[in-house]
Structure 1
Amino acid sequence: MWVRTYLRLASTGEVDKMVVGCVPPRMWELNKTPSWPNFHLKWDHQSVSTDVIQRCRLVEGRLID
């Protein structure tokens, strides 16, 4: 997957986009629970307001959505 992503970005000169942001860590409390309800109820690992997620969304000193 990463090789295809790199090749696609390299062909357009946008390789720098690969190092922007991060994926927040998994919330083990939600293990074996349905993902769609968790997402829509904002219980998933990308919706909760934690320091890790806020840092993942910071790009060049501004918050991205």
Structure 2
Amino acid sequence: MSFQTALWFWMNNVHAVIGQGFGATIRAINGIECDGGNPGTISARVQYYTQYCSQLGVTPGDNLSC
């Protein structure tokens, strides 16, 4: 049930913004944080994402923050 819920949320809220950058996915999943709710959390998410990209040897792309 939890996997189905996660898949439903992804398909209805996040899938459409794929290709628009990491910041767009943050906004789709945690929009309240993007509207000034918690700028420290956004900064930490971007930092973790860029670290993971570095470890995997891929470029993080543009539009990293919302």
Q: TM-score per shorter chain, which class? A: under 0.3
Give the greater-gyration-radius structure (CA).
1
TM-score, normalization by structure 1: 0.25
| More strand by percentage | 1
